[in-house]
Chains A and B, each alone.
Chain A
Amino acid sequence: MWAPQTLFKPDSYDDLITGKIPALIVPEILSKTECSSLCSKISNIQTTNGNPKKFGTSLSSHIYEKSKYFSNAKRSNDSLKKLFAENISPLIAMRETISKIFQKQLTTAIENGTSYSDAVIRIHDNDDSVHLHRDNSNFEMGDYNVSNLKNQLSAILYLQSPEQGGELTIFHKMWNKEDECMREPDFGYSSTLIEDVHKTKILPIEGNMILLNPKFYHQIESVSGTKSRISIGFFFGESFKNYLFSWS
Protein backbone atom coordinates (compact mmCIF):
# COMPACT_ATOMS: atom_id res chain seq x y z
CA MET A 1 0.00 0.00 0.00
CA TRP A 2 1.22 3.53 -0.84
CA ALA A 3 1.36 5.03 2.67
CA PRO A 4 3.78 7.18 4.66
CA GLN A 5 6.57 5.35 6.44
CA THR A 6 7.19 6.30 10.05
CA LEU A 7 10.18 4.20 10.93
CA PHE A 8 13.32 5.00 9.03
CA LYS A 9 14.78 2.17 6.96
CA PRO A 10 18.19 2.32 5.23
CA ASP A 11 16.55 2.56 1.79
CA SER A 12 14.05 5.32 2.74
CA TYR A 13 15.93 8.02 0.81
CA ASP A 14 15.76 6.02 -2.43
CA ASP A 15 12.15 5.09 -1.74
CA LEU A 16 11.23 8.78 -1.45
CA ILE A 17 13.09 9.66 -4.65
CA THR A 18 11.48 6.88 -6.67
CA GLY A 19 8.07 7.46 -5.11
CA LYS A 20 7.83 3.99 -3.59
CA ILE A 21 6.67 5.75 -0.43
CA PRO A 22 4.83 9.11 -0.39
CA ALA A 23 6.55 10.48 2.71
CA LEU A 24 8.68 9.71 5.68
CA ILE A 25 7.38 10.84 9.07
CA VAL A 26 10.04 11.53 11.70
CA PRO A 27 8.16 11.88 15.00
CA GLU A 28 8.94 14.30 17.79
CA ILE A 29 12.12 15.96 16.59
CA LEU A 30 11.03 18.83 18.86
CA SER A 31 9.04 18.47 22.07
CA LYS A 32 5.57 20.01 22.44
CA THR A 33 7.05 22.49 24.95
CA GLU A 34 9.76 23.57 22.49
CA CYS A 35 7.17 23.97 19.72
CA SER A 36 4.89 25.97 21.99
CA SER A 37 7.70 28.30 23.04
CA LEU A 38 8.66 28.93 19.38
CA CYS A 39 5.04 29.55 18.38
CA SER A 40 4.60 32.13 21.15
CA LYS A 41 7.54 34.07 19.72
CA ILE A 42 6.20 33.72 16.18
CA SER A 43 2.77 34.97 17.28
CA ASN A 44 4.31 37.96 19.07
CA ILE A 45 6.31 38.92 16.00
CA GLN A 46 3.21 38.43 13.84
CA THR A 47 1.19 40.78 16.03
CA THR A 48 3.80 43.53 15.87
CA ASN A 49 4.30 43.18 12.09
CA GLY A 50 0.74 43.36 10.73
CA ASN A 51 -0.05 39.63 10.87
CA PRO A 52 2.00 38.27 7.96
CA LYS A 53 1.31 34.62 7.12
CA LYS A 54 4.82 33.91 6.00
CA PHE A 55 8.28 34.53 7.50
CA GLY A 56 11.23 33.90 5.26
CA THR A 57 12.05 34.24 1.58
CA SER A 58 10.86 31.76 -1.02
CA LEU A 59 12.35 31.13 -4.43
CA SER A 60 8.96 30.70 -6.06
CA SER A 61 8.15 34.35 -5.30
CA HIS A 62 11.36 35.44 -7.05
CA ILE A 63 11.61 33.18 -10.11
CA TYR A 64 12.95 35.99 -12.28
CA GLU A 65 14.19 38.38 -9.57
CA LYS A 66 17.46 36.79 -8.59
CA SER A 67 19.24 39.73 -6.95
CA LYS A 68 16.11 40.65 -4.99
CA TYR A 69 15.81 37.02 -3.84
CA PHE A 70 19.34 36.96 -2.43
CA SER A 71 19.02 40.33 -0.69
CA ASN A 72 15.67 39.30 0.83
CA ALA A 73 17.14 35.91 1.80
CA LYS A 74 19.98 37.60 3.69
CA ARG A 75 17.50 39.74 5.61
CA SER A 76 15.12 36.88 6.40
CA ASN A 77 17.94 34.50 7.39
CA ASP A 78 19.10 37.10 9.94
CA SER A 79 15.52 37.48 11.23
CA LEU A 80 15.10 33.71 11.62
CA LYS A 81 18.42 33.49 13.51
CA LYS A 82 17.18 36.19 15.90
CA LEU A 83 13.82 34.45 16.26
CA PHE A 84 15.49 31.18 17.25
CA ALA A 85 18.27 32.77 19.33
CA GLU A 86 16.90 31.95 22.77
CA ASN A 87 15.16 28.72 21.77
CA ILE A 88 16.23 25.46 20.28
CA SER A 89 16.55 26.12 16.55
CA PRO A 90 14.08 24.01 14.56
CA LEU A 91 16.38 24.46 11.58
CA ILE A 92 19.30 22.84 13.36
CA ALA A 93 17.05 20.06 14.63
CA MET A 94 15.76 19.40 11.10
CA ARG A 95 19.21 19.49 9.48
CA GLU A 96 20.77 17.25 12.12
CA THR A 97 17.94 14.73 11.86
CA ILE A 98 18.12 14.61 8.07
CA SER A 99 21.92 14.26 8.16
CA LYS A 100 21.68 11.47 10.68
CA ILE A 101 18.97 9.40 9.01
CA PHE A 102 20.32 9.74 5.47
CA GLN A 103 24.01 9.73 6.49
CA LYS A 104 24.63 12.81 4.34
CA GLN A 105 25.86 16.30 5.25
CA LEU A 106 23.31 19.07 4.86
CA THR A 107 23.95 22.84 4.67
CA THR A 108 22.14 25.80 3.12
CA ALA A 109 23.10 26.24 -0.54
CA ILE A 110 25.37 29.14 -1.54
CA GLU A 111 25.63 30.82 -4.94
CA ASN A 112 28.42 33.30 -5.75
CA GLY A 113 29.25 33.52 -2.04
CA THR A 114 25.68 34.39 -1.05
CA SER A 115 23.43 32.12 0.96
CA TYR A 116 20.06 30.93 -0.23
CA SER A 117 17.08 31.39 2.09
CA ASP A 118 17.30 28.99 5.05
CA ALA A 119 13.61 28.29 5.49
CA VAL A 120 10.09 29.66 5.37
CA ILE A 121 7.63 29.64 8.26
CA ARG A 122 4.02 29.46 7.06
CA ILE A 123 0.95 30.23 9.13
CA HIS A 124 -2.43 28.92 7.99
CA ASP A 125 -5.45 30.30 9.84
CA ASN A 126 -9.09 29.27 9.97
CA ASP A 127 -10.40 28.41 6.45
CA ASP A 128 -6.93 28.65 4.87
CA SER A 129 -5.88 25.88 2.51
CA VAL A 130 -3.25 25.47 -0.22
CA HIS A 131 -4.43 24.46 -3.65
CA LEU A 132 -3.08 21.45 -5.57
CA HIS A 133 0.54 21.95 -6.61
CA ARG A 134 3.95 20.38 -6.95
CA ASP A 135 7.36 21.86 -6.22
CA ASN A 136 10.04 21.47 -8.84
CA SER A 137 12.96 23.86 -9.00
CA ASN A 138 14.62 21.67 -11.68
CA PHE A 139 11.95 22.83 -14.12
CA GLU A 140 10.85 26.20 -12.85
CA MET A 141 13.92 27.89 -11.36
CA GLY A 142 16.44 27.53 -14.20
CA ASP A 143 18.17 30.82 -13.32
CA TYR A 144 19.31 29.42 -9.96
CA ASN A 145 22.09 26.88 -9.36
CA VAL A 146 19.86 24.80 -7.05
CA SER A 147 17.86 23.88 -10.15
CA ASN A 148 20.77 21.56 -10.99
CA LEU A 149 20.61 19.63 -7.72
CA LYS A 150 19.44 16.05 -8.10
CA ASN A 151 16.94 14.07 -6.06
CA GLN A 152 15.14 17.06 -4.58
CA LEU A 153 13.04 16.51 -1.46
CA SER A 154 11.04 18.72 0.86
CA ALA A 155 11.26 18.89 4.67
CA ILE A 156 8.43 20.29 6.81
CA LEU A 157 8.34 20.52 10.57
CA TYR A 158 5.00 21.19 12.22
CA LEU A 159 5.31 23.69 15.05
CA GLN A 160 1.61 24.01 15.89
CA SER A 161 -1.32 21.73 15.05
CA PRO A 162 -4.65 23.33 14.22
CA GLU A 163 -7.77 22.23 16.09
CA GLN A 164 -9.01 20.50 12.94
CA GLY A 165 -7.99 20.05 9.30
CA GLY A 166 -4.75 21.27 7.76
CA GLU A 167 -3.75 17.75 6.67
CA LEU A 168 -1.15 17.35 3.95
CA THR A 169 -2.69 15.29 1.15
CA ILE A 170 -0.23 13.65 -1.22
CA PHE A 171 -1.49 12.18 -4.49
CA HIS A 172 0.11 9.16 -6.15
CA LYS A 173 0.82 11.12 -9.31
CA MET A 174 4.15 12.67 -10.19
CA TRP A 175 4.28 15.88 -12.23
CA ASN A 176 5.33 15.69 -15.86
CA LYS A 177 5.85 18.42 -18.43
CA GLU A 178 2.58 17.70 -20.25
CA ASP A 179 0.70 18.70 -17.08
CA GLU A 180 1.66 22.36 -17.66
CA CYS A 181 -1.46 22.71 -19.80
CA MET A 182 -3.43 22.12 -16.57
CA ARG A 183 -1.83 25.05 -14.72
CA GLU A 184 -3.96 27.62 -12.95
CA PRO A 185 -2.96 31.22 -13.83
CA ASP A 186 -2.10 32.28 -10.26
CA PHE A 187 -0.87 29.14 -8.55
CA GLY A 188 -0.87 25.37 -8.88
CA TYR A 189 -2.89 23.02 -11.07
CA SER A 190 -6.44 22.09 -11.95
CA SER A 191 -7.92 19.49 -9.60
CA THR A 192 -9.06 17.45 -12.59
CA LEU A 193 -5.44 16.19 -12.76
CA ILE A 194 -5.90 14.10 -9.64
CA GLU A 195 -9.46 12.83 -10.07
CA ASP A 196 -9.54 9.14 -9.08
CA VAL A 197 -5.85 9.20 -8.09
CA HIS A 198 -4.92 7.33 -4.90
CA LYS A 199 -4.03 9.71 -2.07
CA THR A 200 -2.73 9.66 1.46
CA LYS A 201 -3.23 12.19 4.24
CA ILE A 202 -0.74 13.25 6.90
CA LEU A 203 -1.88 14.97 10.08
CA PRO A 204 0.06 18.12 11.00
CA ILE A 205 1.21 16.96 14.44
CA GLU A 206 3.44 19.46 16.23
CA GLY A 207 7.02 18.30 16.63
CA ASN A 208 6.82 15.85 13.70
CA MET A 209 8.96 16.35 10.61
CA ILE A 210 7.73 15.16 7.22
CA LEU A 211 10.05 14.43 4.32
CA LEU A 212 8.39 14.10 0.93
CA ASN A 213 9.13 14.07 -2.75
CA PRO A 214 7.52 17.38 -3.77
CA LYS A 215 7.20 16.38 -7.43
CA PHE A 216 4.18 14.34 -6.34
CA TYR A 217 1.08 16.53 -6.41
CA HIS A 218 0.05 17.66 -2.96
CA GLN A 219 -2.25 20.14 -1.23
CA ILE A 220 -3.09 21.38 2.26
CA GLU A 221 -6.64 20.82 3.42
CA SER A 222 -8.64 23.65 4.93
CA VAL A 223 -7.79 24.56 8.52
CA SER A 224 -10.61 25.01 11.00
CA GLY A 225 -10.64 26.49 14.45
CA THR A 226 -8.98 29.38 16.19
CA LYS A 227 -5.57 27.70 16.46
CA SER A 228 -3.37 28.27 13.41
CA ARG A 229 -1.38 25.59 11.63
CA ILE A 230 2.27 26.70 11.83
CA SER A 231 5.06 24.95 9.95
CA ILE A 232 8.64 25.57 8.87
CA GLY A 233 10.09 24.08 5.73
CA PHE A 234 12.83 23.98 3.14
CA PHE A 235 13.84 21.96 0.10
CA PHE A 236 17.05 20.01 -0.28
CA GLY A 237 18.84 18.19 -3.07
CA GLU A 238 22.01 16.26 -3.75
CA SER A 239 25.04 17.92 -5.31
CA PHE A 240 27.38 14.97 -5.15
CA LYS A 241 27.21 11.77 -3.18
CA ASN A 242 26.56 12.32 0.52
CA TYR A 243 26.30 16.12 0.28
CA LEU A 244 22.90 17.77 0.47
CA PHE A 245 22.17 21.48 0.00
CA SER A 246 18.99 23.22 1.13
CA TRP A 247 17.05 26.31 0.12
CA SER A 248 13.59 27.74 0.32
Chain B
Amino acid sequence: MSDIIWGTVTKIISTNSFEMNVSHQKDTNQDGYQDVEEINFTEIDIPSISVDENSRNVSQIEENLKDKFVKCEISGRNSENRLVCVVSHSGAGGY
Protein backbone atom coordinates (compact mmCIF):
# COMPACT_ATOMS: atom_id res chain seq x y z
CA MET B 1 0.00 0.00 0.00
CA SER B 2 1.52 3.35 -1.00
CA ASP B 3 1.88 6.33 1.33
CA ILE B 4 -0.79 9.04 0.95
CA ILE B 5 -0.73 12.75 1.75
CA TRP B 6 -3.37 15.45 1.27
CA GLY B 7 -3.10 19.21 0.99
CA THR B 8 -3.63 22.35 -1.05
CA VAL B 9 -1.70 23.21 -4.19
CA THR B 10 0.18 26.46 -3.66
CA LYS B 11 2.34 26.86 -6.78
CA ILE B 12 2.57 25.28 -10.24
CA ILE B 13 6.19 24.60 -11.09
CA SER B 14 5.90 22.97 -14.51
CA THR B 15 3.48 20.98 -16.66
CA ASN B 16 4.01 17.96 -14.41
CA SER B 17 4.94 19.39 -11.02
CA PHE B 18 3.59 21.61 -8.28
CA GLU B 19 4.24 22.66 -4.72
CA MET B 20 1.75 21.80 -1.99
CA ASN B 21 1.10 22.50 1.68
CA VAL B 22 0.71 19.08 3.28
CA SER B 23 -2.17 19.19 5.78
CA HIS B 24 -2.93 15.47 6.25
CA GLN B 25 -0.86 12.28 6.18
CA LYS B 26 -2.23 8.75 6.26
CA ASP B 27 -1.79 7.20 9.73
CA THR B 28 -0.08 4.12 8.32
CA ASN B 29 2.41 5.95 6.07
CA GLN B 30 5.86 4.36 6.07
CA ASP B 31 7.66 7.72 5.78
CA GLY B 32 7.14 11.19 7.21
CA TYR B 33 6.67 14.21 4.93
CA GLN B 34 7.49 17.92 5.21
CA ASP B 35 4.80 20.60 5.62
CA VAL B 36 5.68 21.77 2.11
CA GLU B 37 6.51 19.23 -0.59
CA GLU B 38 7.12 19.41 -4.33
CA ILE B 39 5.11 16.86 -6.30
CA ASN B 40 5.89 15.31 -9.65
CA PHE B 41 2.63 13.87 -10.96
CA THR B 42 2.58 10.85 -13.22
CA GLU B 43 -1.23 10.64 -13.42
CA ILE B 44 -4.01 13.06 -12.56
CA ASP B 45 -7.79 12.50 -12.56
CA ILE B 46 -8.80 16.03 -13.60
CA PRO B 47 -10.12 15.75 -17.18
CA SER B 48 -9.28 19.35 -18.11
CA ILE B 49 -5.60 18.46 -17.65
CA SER B 50 -4.49 16.53 -20.70
CA VAL B 51 -2.88 13.10 -20.25
CA ASP B 52 -0.36 14.11 -22.90
CA GLU B 53 2.20 16.35 -21.19
CA ASN B 54 3.06 18.09 -24.47
CA SER B 55 -0.52 19.34 -24.76
CA ARG B 56 -0.44 21.01 -21.34
CA ASN B 57 0.66 24.47 -20.31
CA VAL B 58 1.36 25.92 -16.88
CA SER B 59 -1.48 28.46 -16.90
CA GLN B 60 -4.02 25.73 -17.76
CA ILE B 61 -2.76 23.63 -14.86
CA GLU B 62 -2.83 26.68 -12.60
CA GLU B 63 -6.46 27.30 -13.50
CA ASN B 64 -7.38 23.72 -12.56
CA LEU B 65 -5.13 22.99 -9.59
CA LYS B 66 -4.06 26.18 -7.81
CA ASP B 67 -5.54 26.38 -4.28
CA LYS B 68 -7.31 23.03 -4.75
CA PHE B 69 -7.30 20.26 -2.15
CA VAL B 70 -5.73 17.11 -3.60
CA LYS B 71 -4.76 13.60 -2.63
CA CYS B 72 -1.29 12.29 -3.59
CA GLU B 73 -0.46 8.58 -3.68
CA ILE B 74 3.30 8.39 -3.42
CA SER B 75 5.50 5.94 -5.31
CA GLY B 76 8.89 7.46 -4.39
CA ARG B 77 11.18 10.49 -4.78
CA ASN B 78 12.93 11.55 -7.97
CA SER B 79 16.41 12.99 -8.45
CA GLU B 80 15.04 16.53 -7.85
CA ASN B 81 13.76 15.39 -4.42
CA ARG B 82 10.17 15.70 -5.64
CA LEU B 83 7.59 13.14 -4.56
CA VAL B 84 6.45 11.06 -7.52
CA CYS B 85 2.69 10.71 -7.18
CA VAL B 86 -0.65 9.81 -8.67
CA VAL B 87 -2.76 12.89 -7.95
CA SER B 88 -6.52 13.03 -7.60
CA HIS B 89 -9.08 15.48 -6.28
CA SER B 90 -10.18 14.57 -2.79
CA GLY B 91 -13.72 14.59 -1.41
CA ALA B 92 -15.66 17.82 -1.59
CA GLY B 93 -15.86 20.94 0.53
CA GLY B 94 -19.65 20.69 0.40
CA TYR B 95 -22.69 19.06 -1.17
Interface residues of A (CB under 8 A from B): 58, 60-61, 63-64, 66, 120, 133-136, 139-140, 142-143, 175, 177, 180-189, 214
Q: Is B29 an interface residue (CB 8 A)?
A: no
Interface residues of B (CB under 8 A from A): 6-8, 21, 23-24, 45-48, 63-64, 67-69, 71, 89-95
Decide if A133 touches B94 in the complex (CB within 8 Å). Answer: yes
Chain B residue with the shortest CB-CB distance to A137: B94
Contact of A64 among B6, B46, B71, B94 (CB under 8 A): B46
* Contact partners of B21 in chain A: CB under 8 A: 181
* Contact partners of B63 in chain A: CB under 8 A: 142
Decide if A134 touches B47 in the complex (CB within 8 Å). Answer: no
Chain A residue with the shortest CB-CB distance to B94: A135
A-B pairs under 8 A by CB, number? 66
**27 residue pairs A–B, Cβ–Cβ below 8 Å:** A58-B95, A60-B92, A60-B94, A61-B92, A64-B46, A133-B95, A136-B93, A136-B94, A140-B92, A140-B93, A142-B48, A142-B63, A143-B48, A175-B93, A180-B67, A180-B68, A180-B93, A181-B7, A181-B8, A182-B23, A183-B23, A183-B91, A183-B93, A184-B91, A185-B24, A188-B91, A189-B93
C-alpha spacing A222/B24, complex, angstroms? 26
* Contact partners of B94 in chain A: CB under 8 A: 60, 133-136, 140, 188, 214
C-alpha spacing A165/B21, complex, angstroms? 37
C-alpha spacing A186/B94, complex, angstroms? 10
* Contact partners of B47 in chain A: CB under 8 A: 64, 66, 143
Min CB gap A43→B, angstroms: 22
Min CB gap A175→B, angstroms: 7
Min CB gap A67→B, angstroms: 10
* Contact partners of A183 in chain B: CB under 8 A: 6, 8, 23, 69, 90-91, 93
Asked if A185 meets B95 with Cβ closer than 8 Å, knowing A64-B45, A143-B47, the reply is: no
Min CB gap B3→A, angstroms: 14
